[in-house]
Structure 1
Amino acid sequence: MSDSTLRFKVVRVFVLSGLLSVSAVTHAQYPTAQMGEAVPRDVREVYEKGLQFLVETQSDEGDWRGGQSGPAVTGLAVLAFLASGEDPNFGIYSGNIRRGLLSILRSQDAATGIYGGSMGHTSMYHHGFAMLAIAESYGAVDDSDLWRGSGQSSGEVRSELTLGRSLELAVRGAVTSQKKNRFGGWRYGPDATDADTSVSGAVMVGLLAARNAGIEVPDEAIDRGVAYFKSMTSPSGQVAYAGVGGFDDSIPRISIGTLVYAIARRKDMAEFKATLGSLTSRLEQPSSSSYLRYGQYYQAQALFQGDVEAWKKWNEQLIRELKADQGVDGGFSGGLGNSVDTSLSLLAMALNFRFLPIYER
C-alpha cells in the first residue's frame, strides 16, 4: 500500500478498521467473516461468478448498460466489488472500481452536487446509491492518482475532484433538495416537493454512510428524514409509499424503514421495533416478484442490523434461492436489468463478508 493511501484524517480512521486487515487478500481467497464465522462455500462461489459477470459487462467508460443504467447502477456494481474484500487499490478488481468511480464522478453536476442530474425523473435515486458508493470508497480507495490516464480532455477540470470533495458536494446537494421538500424526504427530482419512502431510503442511507465516513451531515437533515419515515410507519410496522396512508405489507418498504431507523441509531423508537417485528414475523415469506432483488437487497440489511439471529435464518434461505437463480453467465434477473439485479443479489449476500462499513453492526 502506498504512503498516499495512508494519508487519512483522524475522522476517517474508523472507516478503515474493517478494510486494512484484508489488503493482502488474493483472488477468491475470502477470509472468515468479521463475526468469527466462515463464509459459506456457496456464497463464495456465487459471488465470484457474479463479479465475473460484472467484469464482462462493464463498459470502457466504466458504467453498465442494458436495462437500467446511470450512476446508481454503477454505484451498486462498485459496492459489489468493494464488498468482496479484495484490495480496492491493488486487487484484481481495482481497475473495475477505479473506472466505475470515475464514471460516477463525471456524472456529478458541478453546481448542484447531484449525481446523475441529467437522469430526469429518477435523478435522486441515482444520487442516493451513487453517494453510498462514494462514501464506502472514501477512506478505502486511494484517489491521489484516480484521474491519471483517464483520458480527460484538456478542458476537463474534474481531475481536482477527489472522493472526499465529491462526497461533500453530494451531501450538500441532498440537503439542499430536502430543504425544498415539505415532507422532509425526497422524490425523483431534486426540486420535488413531494416524497416517497423508496427514494428517501436511498438518499438517507447515502447520507448516513457519508456521516459515518466523517463527512459533516447536518443533524437536522437526519432528524427530518427520520421524522418523515416515522410519519409513514403504521403501529403494525407497515410502511406507506407516498402521500398519506396507503399502508400495506410491502416487505421492501418495511425493510427500508427498518434499515433507516437502525443506521440512524434510532433503535429505541417504537417505529423501529414495529417494522423489525413485522419483518421477523414472516421470515419465510418471499419478497415481491416485481423488483425481487431490490427487496432482497434491503431485507438482508434490515434483518442484519435489527436481529442478527433472524438474519442468519433468512440468509440460509437467500443463499439457496440465489444459487438456484444464478444464470450460467453469472448474472441474475429480477425486473431491473441484469446489471442492477446482479449487483443487488451480490450485495444481499455481502453481509456474509462484513467488509463494507455500512454492513457492520
Structure 2
Amino acid sequence: MMRIFQLRAARGLWNTAFLGLTALSSLLSAASAQDLPRRPDDPVPAQVDTMYDRGLAYLAKNQNAQGYWNDSMGSEPGVVGLCVVAFLAHGEDPNHGMYAAQITKGIDYLISQQNATNGYIGNSMYNHGFSTLALAEAYGAVDNPKIAPALKKCVELILSAQKRNKSNAWRYTPDSTDADTTVSGCQLVALFASRNAGLPVPDDALKKGLEYMAKCRGSDGAYGYTSAGGGKPTLTAIGVLCLSLAKEKDGKGYQSSVEYLKNQLSFRDRHYPYYFEYYMSQALFHADMDTWNEWNSRNIRYLSVSQSRDGSWPGNKGQSFNTAGSLLSLALNYRFLPIYEK
C-alpha cells in the first residue's frame, strides 16, 4: 500500500508544472492521511475478502483486450471506470501487481473514448462522471502520463456543462438545460475526487451543485429525482454522500436525510440494486459509523447469498456493472481510496 502512495506522490511531483502547487499540496496531504487506512484492531471480515477476491478474479478473467467487458453494459466507459475503481479500492498495486494489466487496459480504454476537442467521455454524463472518478482515483498512483491531461479535460467539461445549465447542475448530456439528482450527484462526486487528486475545482461550482441538490430534498430528508417530491432511498444516499464529501454535516437537512436512511436499512432497489448498494454504503460510512456497521453486516450477508459461482453478481444491467457496484459497496471495509477518507 505504501508503494501505491509513494507512486501517487511521485506522479504529483512530475505534474506540478501542469497542475500547480495546489495539486502537490493536496496530493501529499491525501497520501499522509491514507498511510494507515485501517487499524490493527479493525480487521476486514474474512467473508469480504473472499467475495472481493472472487469478484476481482471474475472481472480480470472477462475483460477483453480492448479493456472493456462483453456484456450488456460492459463497453460503457462509466462501467469500465467503476471496474477500474473496484481494483484500486482493493489496494492493488496498479503498476506491478497481479491486476496491473487490467487496470492499465481499463484506463487506456477510458482515455481512448475521450473526445479530443471537448474532453467528453462516452455518450452520457453518467459515463463521463464515472470515468472522471476513475481517472481521479488513478491519478498519481498509475504510471501513465496521459491521465493528468485527460482528467483535466474531464473536469473542464463538467464545469462548462454546469455553466450552460439553468439549474447550475447536470443531466444526460453536456448541453442539457434541465437537471436531476442522479446525474448531478455523479458529477459532484467526480469533482470532489478530482479536487482530492489536486485539480483546481472552484468552490462556487460545488456550492451551486449542492444548492440544486438541496432543492430536491423534501421535508422528511428524502431526495427526489428532479424535485423535492417522490423521495427515494437511492437518491437520498447520493445526496448524503455529496454533503459528506463537502464536509457539510451540521445542517438540519443533512441530519434529516441521515435519519431517513437509517430507516431504510432493509430496503433493496428492485430496478438498480447494485447502484443503490454502491451509494448507500458510502453515504452511511461518512454519516454514522454505528449505522454503517449494521448496514455493512446486512450487506455482506445479502451479497454473499447473491454472488454467483463465477464470482460475478447477476442482474439485467450486466455482470460487469453489477460486480463493480457490489465490490465497491464492500470496499469501505478496506478504505484505500482518497474518496473514502472521512
Q: TM-score by structure 2 length? A: 0.91
Quote the Cα distance in structure 1 between the aligned partners of 2:29 and 2:39.
15
Gaps of at least 5 residues in structure 1 are 22-31, 145-161
Number of corresponding residues: 326
Percent identity among equivalent residues? 39
Secondary structure in 1 matching 2:12: coil
Q: Which residue of 2 aligns with 1:130?
A: 131
Deviation at 1:4, TM superposition (A): 7.3
Q: Is the aligned partner of 1:78 residue 2:84?
A: yes
Which of residues 256, 267, 274 is equivalent to 2:238? 256
Q: 1:34 and 1:135 mapped to 2: Cα distance?
A: 26
1:103 aligns with 2:109: yes
Question: What amino acid maps onto 1:93 in structure 2?
Answer: Y
SS at the partner of 1:17?
helix
Distance 1:247 1:327 in 2: 34
Distance 1:67 1:339 in 2: 9
What amino acid does structure 2 have at the position aligned with 1:337?
G
Q: Does 1:54 align with 2:69?
A: no
Equivalence for 2:211: 227
State the partner residue of 1:16: 31
| Distance in 2 separating the partners of 1:235 and 1:35 | 41
Give the secondary structure class of the aligned counterpart of 1:193: coil
RMSD, matched Cα: 1.8
2:38 maps to which of 33, 38, 53: 33
Tell me the amino acid that sits aligned with residue 101 of structure 2: G
Aligned mates of 2:7, 2:120 — CA distance in 1: 28
**1:235-279 Cα shifts (integer Å, max 9, x gaps):** 21111101x44323x111010000011101111222211111111
Tell me the residue number matched to 1:204: 188
Task: Tell me the equivalent position of 1:306.
Answer: 287
Partner of 2:20: none
1:128-167, aligned counterparts within 5 Å? Answer: 128-144=129-145, 162-167=146-151
Which residue identity is paired with 1:275? S
**1:335 and 2:339 equivalent?**
no
Tell me which residue corresponds to 2:153. 169
Q: Greater CA deviation, 168-177 or 274-283? A: 274-283
Aligned-partner Cα distance in 1 for 2:93–2:61: 19
Mapped partners of 1:266, 1:304: distance in 2: 15
CA distance in structure 2 between the aligned counterparts of 1:48 and 1:355, rounded to whole angstroms:
16
Q: Give the match for residue 65 of structure 1.
A: 70
- The answer to whether structure 1 residue 279 and structure 2 residue 261 are counterparts is yes
| Aligned residue type for 1:104 | L
Q: Which residue of 2 aligns with 1:45?
A: 50
Deviates further, 224-233 or 12-21: 12-21
Does the Cα contact within 8 Å between 1:233 and 1:240 map onto a contact in 2?
Answer: yes
Deviation at 1:19? 5.9
Q: How much does 1:357 deviate? A: 0.7
* Structure with the larger helix share: 2
CA contact (8 A) 1:204 1:225 kept: yes
User: 1:206 and 1:301 mapped to 2: Cα distance?
Assistant: 14
Aligned residue for 2:118? 112
Superposed displacement of residue 35, structure 1:
7.8
Q: Structure 1 residues 201 and 36 mapped into 2: Cα distance closer, same or farther (>3 Å)?
A: farther
Q: Which residue identity does 2:276 align to in structure 1?
A: G
Q: Partners of 1:20 and 1:79 in 2: how far apart?
A: 19
> Hey, what's the Cα distance between the residues in 2 that align with 1:334 and 1:180?
36
1:34 deviates by 4.7
CA contact (8 A) 2:217 2:228 kept: no
Shift in alpha-carbon separation, 1:19–1:101, aligned structure 2, 3 A: farther
2:221 alignment partner, SS class: coil
1:159 aligns to what? none
| CA distance in 2: counterparts of 1:261 and 1:294, whole angstroms | 18
**SS of 1:329's equivalent?**
coil
Which residue type is aligned with residue 14 of structure 1? S
Displacement, 1:109?
1.1
Change (3 A) 1:279 1:37: same
1:326-356 CA-to-partner distances (Å, cap 9, x unmatched) read 0011000233111100000000000000001
C-alpha distance in 2, partners of 1:238/1:35? 37
